Each structure stands twice: as structure tokens, then as C-alpha cells.
Homo-oligomer: A and B are copies of this chain.
Amino acid sequence: MATLKDYTYTHFLVTSPAEFVVHVEINRPKKLNAFSEPVWREFGALFNRLSHDADVRAVVLSGAGDRAFSAGLDVQSAAEGTLGSTMGGDVDPAWFATTMRRHIVEFQAAIDAVEKCEKPVICVLHGISIGIAIDISCCADVRICARNTRFSVKEVDIGLAADLGTLSRLPKLVGSTSWVKEVCLSARDFSGEEALAVGFVSQVHENKAAALEAGLKLAGFISSKSPVAVQGTKELLNHARDHSVAENLRYTTVWNSAMLQSSDFKTALMSGLSKSKPRFEKL
């Protein structure tokens, strides 16, 4: 296992534990992996880069240290940043609203980078996983957690409605709106088992190590498949969430009218017949 070439970041540790698999660790364990503005700006830039890197086929995202995937917003840092500077003193409410609007739009875009990343992202959670931790994991494709994970949609407790994506995505990720409203309106904790029962995660493991191993294994398995097929599947599933079936079928048709010309299709068909292991082009 080696650090990826040129993937050197201040707040994230980026390694490649297997061919085509990248492991991103949020690397502020002393701050419980909380997100300040420099952290989320770097986060967005990192995932935008992974999205177009042909050496990457699947990404695992986890948090460094034993205690937390992430404790969410770095409140102290926020108070010194855009939020703080706009709240003090005698500002015009329209100016404040405009400044906040631009700020939230940029913040959302950084989190969205996980969803927009063309390669599948597997989020492995453990320990404290609140606030932004939920926003981020909602953008991932697959969620796996350790038994000890303590989740919370925490924003109500700091006097605001969550605005980085949890309220937009969570109701579409799990199968009980009654449960979604319960945890979002009350900001109460929920456990890994509860997360599995409602479908928020699809796997729970004994501890962080086991969860991480499962995540890396799944990433490796996906990386052995045709990148054309895998990346198309992610794109079409994300499109499906926000469109009618008829719209998605139309989009799918045009998508595949180009992609079925790929050599991957022929390669996969051939290797299926010959029972050999296929070798796909980079994408």
C-alpha cells in the first residue's frame, strides 16, 4: 500500500490499497474530523479530481482515529469565518442573506462533489457521525458502518434546519419517512443497528476495522468490473432518483447508444464465453 502520487492534502490522507481503489481518510482526529472552511474546500477539490482520474475506479471514504468519522461542523472555526463575520454588528438583512446564500451554495457544492464523482464512493462510518457526517454520507453510493456508530442529524440542536443536503437526500435513501422525521425533528441519536433496519446503511460490522475491510473489499470487487458499465450505472441511478421512470428511460437510451459501442462490452461478452478474467480500458 502506498500514498498515491501527488495526492498530498492537508486535511486528508489519500492512499491506494489496491489497483484502481483509492482510500480517502478525513485526517483531523484531534478535532474529531470536524469540517472548517479550509477542510471542506479541500474536500470538494479532492473529489472533483478523483472523478476524472482514469487510475481510480472506486473510492472508500473513512475518518482517521478511533473516536469519530466526523463530529460535523467545526463550530469554533465557523464562528471566525463567513458565518461569524456576517452575524456581528449592524448589517443590512438583505446583504446578510445574499452573503449567506453565496456561502451555502459553495459549501453545498463541496459536499456534492462526492455524489458528482463519476466513480462509486463507499462511505465507512464509525463512532461520532453527526451533522456534516450525515450530509456527506448521504452523497456516497454505499454506506457501511461499525456497530459503535453514533449517528445524529444534529442541526436542530444548533438552531437551524440542516442545509447541506441531509434533508434533501435522507428521505429518498431510506424506507420510512416516519423515522426520517423522527430523527430530523428531534436530533436524537441513532445506532448502527437502527441505521441498518431502516436501510440507511447496507452493512454493519463489529468494529471500525471490520467495516473498513468490508468497504475495501467491495471497492476492489467493483473495480474488477467494466468501468464503462460501473460508471454508467452510477450516473443512471443518480439520475433516476430525481426523474420519472419515463424520463430516466429516455436518458438511459441515449446514454447507452454511445456506451454500447465501447470495447468493454465486447471484452465482457468474450470473457464471459471464454470464462477468462476480462481486462478493461481505463476511463
- Report the stretch among A5-13, A34-42, A168-176, A205-213 that lies at the interface: A168-176
CB contacts (< 8 Å) of A120 on chain B: these are 181, 185
Each complex incorporates copies of this chain amounting to: 6
CB contacts (< 8 Å) of A179 on chain B: these are 199, 202
Query: Which residues 195-226 of A have a CB within 8 angstroms of B?
Result: 198-202, 218, 221-222, 225-226
A230 near B156 with CB under 8 A, answer yes
Instruction: Tell me the nearest residue of chain B to A173, going by C-beta.
Output: B177
For residue A31, CB closer than 8 A to chain B, the reply is no
B161 near A232 with CB under 8 A, answer yes
Instruction: Tell me the nearest residue of chain B to A234, going by C-beta.
Output: B185
Pick 17 A–B contacts, CB within 8 A, sort by A: A79-B269, A96-B261, A100-B256, A112-B249, A120-B181, A156-B230, A156-B233, A160-B265, A161-B228, A163-B252, A165-B249, A168-B245, A171-B237, A173-B178, A176-B199, A246-B246, A254-B255
A interface, over-half SS? helix
By the criterion of a CB under 8 Å from any partner CB, how many residues of chain A are at the interface?
Answer: 107
Q: A175-B176, A240-B171 are in contact. Are A226 and B257 (CB under 8 A)?
A: no
CB contacts (< 8 Å) of A280 on chain B: these are 159
